[in-house]
Amino acid sequence: MSETNLQDWAGRSATATETADGERAARLATLLGHDGDPAAPLFPLGHWLHFSEDDVPMSELGADGHAALGGFMPPVPLPRRMWAGSDLTFHAPILPGQTIERTTTIESITEKTGSTGRLCFVVLRQELTADGRPATTDRHTIVYREATSVPDGSAAKPPRTDSPAPAGWDWSRSVRPNEVMLFRYSALTFNSHRIHYDHPYVTEVESYPGLVTHGPLTATLLLDAFMSTHPEAAVTGYRFTAKSPLFANEQIHLVGRETESGTHELQAIAPGGKTAIAATVTTKN
């Protein structure tokens, strides 16, 4: 990789505008198992339903289904990409019908070498306003990595075996995202990344054992579980880091506990007890 070339993209900014869509927000509520109200404020992560990065002509999509790199995003020459995490601050709710303006700045581009080979981390800082007032700051990280070898035939495997809910948490909830939920979330966010719906591709090309559950979907399920158990709390911040992937039809334990007043530790735990997502929520009661 040429560091000089990639660093030319650092500091670039782009601004886009959309109208907050109450119907889309209501469909997310339905996906989460709630009654959807098109007039209700957007879920704190509801801006992810807007400004899809894959909303480009078919001719501008890469082999993985994502928008090809080299336009606004740096042309990282590593073929695999994942959402590594976000650090969000919520300034004010977004209401249906409001004009949302998002300014995205490429904050940093960092190349590293890990146990799986070369990695590149791209940090995007997104500032969102609703009708001109600050609404959400979302600093999110994308990681790019090298391709892995695929066993002869396919890397497909059945879902991992369920494991008991872990002890030591204030609350827990279990979910099992399936192919239909993954499809619906991809449709809501206009996410065309093939790892979430194309089983031959994800197992024979990217060497995963099955369809990958979206990191943002798991992060949404985790925050929704917290909000359902703390209906009186006003969420002011949410930070999460993806530790390991989850796959369709696997049981996920969503757990949380208060670490100090107004701060809660959350985790999404994979079969076998491994942490898939580690998160922190801050609240104003």
| Residue 172: strand pairing partners | 255
9 Cβ partners below 8 Å, 6+ apart? 73, 74, 106, 109
pLDDT the model gives residue 151: 72
Give the C-alpha separation, 112 to 128, whole Å: 30
| Token code pair at residue 58 | 């078919």
Q: Which residues contact 49 (CB under 8 A, 6 or more apart)?
A: 21, 24, 25, 28, 42, 188, 189
Instruction: Kindly give, in sequence order, each residue whose CB lies less than 8 Å from that of residue 69, ignoring residues fewer than 6 positions away.
Output: 62, 75, 76
Q: What is the pLDDT of residue 154?
A: 84
Domain ranges of the chain: 1-147, 148-285
Q: For position 2, what pLDDT does the model report?
A: 45
This prediction has a pTM of 0.95
Fold classification of 1-147 is Thiol Ester Dehydrase; Chain A (3.10.129)
pLDDT at 148: 82
State in words which class domain 148-285 has.
Answer: alpha beta
pLDDT of residue 4: 53
Neighbours of 253 (CB within 10 A): 22
Q: Which residues of the chain are modeled with pLDDT < 50? A: 1-2
**Which pLDDT belongs to residue 194?**
97
- Asked if residues 253 and 221 have their Cβ atoms less than 8 Å apart, the reply is no
User: Do 148-285 and 1-147 fall under one CATH topology?
Assistant: yes
What are the pLDDT digits (tens) for 89-133?
999 999 999 999 999 999 999 999 977 789 999 999 999 999 999
> What does the alpha-carbon distance between residue 122 and residue 74 come to, in Å, rounded to a whole number?
9
